[in-house]
Structure 1
Amino acid sequence: MDPTSSDLFLTEDLLTDEERDVRDRVRRFCDEDVLPVINGYWERAEFPFPLLPKLAALNVCGGTFTGHGLPGLSPLAAGLVSMELARGDGSVSTFHGVHSGLAMTAIALLGSEEQKERWLGPMARLELIGAFALTEPDHGSDAVTLETRARHLGDGYVIDGAKRWIGNAMFADLMIVWARDGAGDVGAYVVEKGTPGVEAHTITGKMAKRASWQADITLTDVRVPAENRLAGATSFDDAASVLARARPSIAWGALGHATAAYEMAVEYTLGREQFGTPIAGYQLTQFRLAKMLADLTCMRLICLRLAALLDEGKLTAPMASLAKMHNAARGRAVVGEARDLLGGNGILLENHVGRHLGDIEVVSTVEGTDVVHALIVGREITGLSAFS
């Protein structure tokens, strides 16, 4: 559908020609390359490796960062990339979010100039693929208490521990592993593909993001050279800074899932006849579509404001948490409504809504559950922390 079909408030007018071009390039990639094949990959729980060269050609990996061959997108353009990839497919969007939004962001924010020069250019071209290993089997929302350890040995480090839900880890060339050193300080260590002592097992049986591979990781006596410790990572606050920089993309991604489902619902209800008339002509259907569009509009306006705040250097953690919390919840509502409007056909992969229905569930928990983000906002409101 036309990108402006759900844009009742004419936010298209706020885009520059360059931002519109980025949005349109990514949308064409999704419409022409992703949508024709993704249902099969999703159903088989296979990662769509053939799509990676075409994704690389879009020149969007690295987002807003400049230098070292990075695209230097505006915050709004970067948000539109996240939106359009999620509108196409949540698994492709997740791959990009992990590789570009987390792994590349960690190196761009915390790496030395030598480390940036060494890794960022090849990552931007998808010659090297990144993973981000923070979450552990017993530590998700309380990742600050991570137990993975790194100890000095000779001119490098030895890492021992376990990680869980690590996207891209099954095939990543670089894995950013967060661990505590002997002094208890948190650091980030770049573990390269083929390093002895790393074992990765794909998590199976998922009902969502099935074409995206997440893994359980065990690290046993993993040796990392000193030059692979990110120079600017000295505390958990540095890990939090990477997550905060990536978090707006989750709100944009929720908007993408909801936009896809809304567009499909409009198209379906216009073509589906019951009792001799398109179901789009019934009052109840129009009421439901109007409510969906209201949610979409609120989500879109929040994302646009996020981009402006990021561009002005004013974006705070509570702002990002409020956006993520709101858009995840309203995105689930819109996609659920779309599935219902399609009736039984809504669960068929050929209509795509069912795939988005599964994938939008992940948005509520990825990079912090809605409850945790509500507590961050609550602390901002009251000045009192409800975290134990």
Structure 2
Amino acid sequence: MVASPKLPAFDPADPLGIDDLLEPEDLAIRDTVRGWATDRVLPYVAEWYEKGELPGIRELARELGSIGALGMSLEGYGCAGASAVQYGLACLELEAADSGIRSLVSVQGSLAMYAVHRFGSEEQKQEWLPRMAAGEVIGCFGLTEPDHGSDPAAMRTHAKRDAGGDWVLNGRKMWITNGSVAGVAVVWAQTEEGVRGFVVPTDSAGFSAPEIKHKWSLRASVTSELVMDDVRLPADAVLPEVTGLRGPLSCLSHARYGIVWGSMGAARSSFEAALEYAKSREQFGRAIGGFQLTQAKLADMAVELHKGILLAHHLGRRMDAGRLRPEQVSFGKLNNVREAIDICRTARTILGANGISLEYPVMRHATNLESVLTYEGTVEMHQLVLGKALTGLDAFR
């Protein structure tokens, strides 16, 4: 009789053994980002959130650049050239600290830098990408408008050529992460040729980015309006390699992929807080983690958390193989953000009244995820994307 192999110990932090799917380099990148977030974000983020500010954002951006976290899945121009899975692991660790920090990185790398890298001229790439990868220049991405979010085709921002060949840009963009600290903005506008993207230095005359205050979500993040009043740009400010909504939508798909991973970071942080609390909090003479109803909650949370991480990992492998479809990204964002919010809410019930305190991360993650749920595609939009893919029928209009 052949002896059965000795099974590895059950790991509550990795109950499915997902780490076995990762290469040593994957783990090294994950641990680097986790270590940075542990040292530079976690000790301070509750205070930042309470005050509604992200102090030292430019210094944080440079530090993120130094560890290769900005535009990390892009090739060349000072970018790390990491795999999609490695980028996803970084997003998970950043959002386990706070969604605002992951948003800073996502907007920089997956929206602004990605747009220039994929659709820009060689001159635009050389001018902006190395400095953005190093965190020396922060970027933002202007698509959403005050009256047009889910329907970008109806945007009112427009750009017209004047007699000398320059572009003149007018319009408003809303809910723009990094806006008031950005050195460059990628702005999408209507033109006679269709929707075009423009690389806009934020010191251009007529450009301003007032910061949005009074937020109850993503408070440790810079969110702004972009205002463009007769902003004059040279002819070569336009992104030359794309016309139409394919440009901004492909950027959004890349950023949504990071959300699939990142939302699981917020969920993991909340789950871990609830698990530790359940093992130490006593009621009726025993730890509440010993009661059946609490264990049922913890089990359900763990199942959805690690299913979500497996889904993210699967999508990452498809992206690395060049086989990831936008509908599959919608599948991941729809599922993982919804489940992350449910995990946070369940964790809050385990912590009881302590769950609303900033001494614990749970309510902060829950309120942040309310924004993550609807930005870069609302629940309804992703449902309709999947509905169209499943039925072949377009229900958007």
Residue matched to 1:180: 190
User: Which residue in the other structure is 1:220 paired with?
Assistant: 229
State how 1:151-300 maps to structure 2 within 5 Å.
Answer: 151-153=160-162, 154-183=164-193, 185-300=194-309
Of the candidates 83, 87, 93, which is equivalent to residue 78 of structure 1? 87
Q: Which runs of 5+ in 1 are unaligned?
A: none
Distance 2:365 2:182 in 1: 25
Matches within 5 A, 1:26-175: 26-49=33-56, 50-153=59-162, 154-175=164-185
- The AA in structure 2 aligned to 1:158 is V
> CA contact under 8 A between 1:6 and 1:259: conserved in structure 2?
no
Task: State the alpha-carbon separation in 1 of the partners of residues 34 and 55 from structure 2.
Answer: 17
Distance in 2 (alpha carbons) for counterparts of 1:5 and 1:51 = 32
Give me the whole-angstrom Cα distance separating, in 2, the residues matched to 1:36 and 1:357. 19
Deviation at 1:5, TM superposition (A): 4.1
Tell me the distance in 2 between the aligned counterparts of 1:158 and 1:332: 42
Of 7, 10, 13 in structure 1, the residue corresponding to residue 14 of structure 2 is: 7
Residue 78 of structure 1, CA deviation: 0.4
Aligned to 2:179, what secondary structure does the other structure show?
coil
Contact 1:6 1:293 in 2 (8 A): no
Of residues 348, 353, 361, the one that matches 1:339 is 348
Distance in structure 1 (CA, Å) of the matches to 2:70 and 2:222? 19
Residue in structure 2 matched with residue 325 of structure 1 by the alignment: 334
Mapped to 2, the partners of 1:198 and 1:5 lie a distance apart of 51
Distance 1:369 1:180 in 2: 23
Contact 1:306 1:320 in 2 (8 A): yes
Aligned mates of 1:332, 1:60 — CA distance in 2: 26
User: Does 2:319 align with 1:310?
Assistant: yes
Structure 2 counterpart SS, 1:170: helix
Contact 2:388 2:394 in 1 (8 A): yes
Unaligned runs of 5+ in 2: 1-10
Partners in 1 of 2:368 and 2:151 — Cα distance? 24
Greater displacement, 257-266 / 230-239: 230-239
Shift of 1:186: 0.9
Q: CA deviation at 1:161?
A: 0.7
Tell me if the contact between 1:266 and 1:289 (Cα under 8 Å) persists in the aligned partners: yes
Looking at structure 1, the residues matched to 61 and 124 of structure 2 have their Cα atoms a distance apart, in angstroms, of 24
Tell me the alpha carbon deviations over residues 179-235 of structure 1, each in whole angstroms, 9 at most, x when there is no partner: 01134x111111102111112222221111001121122211001112221121311
For residue 363 of structure 1, what is the aligned residue in structure 2?
Answer: 372
Output the amino acid matched with 1:176.
V
CA shift, 1:48, in A, is 3.1
Q: Deviations over 1:147-169 (max 9, x none)?
A: 11101121320001111011111
Q: What displacement does 1:111 show?
A: 0.8
Q: Give the AA of the match of 2:319.
A: L
* Cα displacement (A) at 1:52: 2.9
**CA deviation after TM superposition for structure 1 residue 282, in Å:** 1.1
Give the deviation of 1:51 after TM superposition: 2.8
Q: Partner amino acid for 2:43?
A: P
Alignment check: 8 A CA contact 2:61 2:136 kept = no
The percent identity for this pair of structures is 38
Partner Cα distance (1:140, 1:359) in 2: 19
Deviation string for 1:242-281 (max 9, x for gaps)? 1112211111111111011001111111111112211111
Q: 1:120-156: per-residue Cα shift (whole Å, max 9, x none)?
A: 1110000111000000111100012211110112132
- Displacement of 1:350 in angstroms is 1.2
Amino acid corresponding to residue 201 of structure 1 in structure 2: P
The separation in 2 between residues aligned to 1:235 and 1:357, in whole angstroms, is 35
Contact 2:78 2:133 in 1 (8 A): yes
Q: What do the CA deviations read for 1:290-320 (whole angstroms, capped 9, x no partner)?
A: 0000101110111011001101111111111
> Does the residue aligned with 1:131 lie in a helix, a strand or coil?
strand
Name which of 385, 388, 396 aligns with 1:376: 385
- Specify the SS of the correspondent of 1:201: coil
